[in-house]
Structure 1
Amino acid sequence: MAGGLTRYRHLSRSSSHRQALLRNLVTSLVKHEAIHTTWPKAKEAQRLAEKLITLAKRNNETARRKAQGILYTPNLLMSKLFGELRERYAERPGGYTRVLRTEPKDTYSQAPSALLEFVDSPKDVRFVMTAAAVARDLAEGREHTEITQKNVGKVTRYRAGGKGAFEDMVEKVRALDL
Structure 2
Amino acid sequence: MAGGLQKYRHLGRDSAHRQALLRNLVTSLIKNESIHTTHPKAKEAQRLAEKLITLAKRNNETAKRKAQGILYTPDELMPKLFGELRERYADRPGGYTRVLRTEPKDKYSQAPSAILALVDGPRDMRFAMTAAAVARDRALGKEHTDITHMNVDKVTKFRKNGQKEFEDMVARIQTLKTKSP
Same fold? TM cut 0.5: yes
Kindly report the root-mean-square deviation, in angstroms, between the aligned alpha carbons of the 2 structures. Answer: 0.7
Deviation at 1:3, TM superposition (A): 2.4
SS at match of 1:92: coil
Give secondary structure in 2 for the equivalent of 1:98: strand
Structure 2, unmatched stretches of 5+, are: none
Q: Is 1:155 the counterpart of 2:155 in the alignment?
A: yes
Structural mapping, 1:74-89, within 5 Å: 74-89=74-89
Q: Which residue of 1 aligns with 2:105?
A: 105
Match in the other structure for 1:13: 13
- Aligned residue for 2:121, secondary structure, equals coil
The farther-off stretch of 101-110 and 75-84 is: 101-110
Matched AA of 2:47: R
Displacement of 1:41: 0.3
CA shift digits 1:24-52 (9 cap, x unpaired):
00000000000000000000000000000
Cα displacement string for residues 91-123 of structure 1 (whole angstroms, at most 9, x for unaligned residues): 000000000001111111111100000000100
Q: Percent identity?
A: 76
- Corresponding position of 2:48: 48
Deviations 1:138-162, CA, capped at 9 Å, x for gaps? 0111111111110000000001200
Residues 53-93 of structure 1: per-residue CA shift (max 9 Å, x gap): 00000000000000000000000000000000000000000
What's the CA shift for 1:5? 1.1
- Which structure 1 residue ranges, 5 or more long, are not aligned? none
Q: Which residue of 1 aligns with 2:38?
A: 38
Name the count of aligned residue pairs.
178
Give the aligned partner of residue 166 of structure 1. Answer: 166
Quick one: distance in 1 between partners of 2:142 and 2:153? 19
Residue 96 of structure 1 is matched in structure 2 by: 96
CA distance in 2, matches of 1:107, 1:131: 32
Superposed, 1:108-127 pairs within 5 Å as 108-127=108-127
Shift of 1:2: 4.4
- In the superposition, the TM-score normalised over structure 1's length comes to 0.98
In 2: Cα distance, 1:155 partner to 1:4 partner: 38
Q: Runs in 1 of length 4+ with deviation above 4 angstroms?
A: none
SS state at 1:142 partner = coil
Residue number in structure 2 paired with 1:134: 134
The answer on 1:27 being equivalent to 2:2 is no
Output the CA distance in 2 between the equivalents of 1:173 and 1:110: 34
Q: With the length of structure 2 as denominator, give the TM-score of the two structures.
A: 0.97
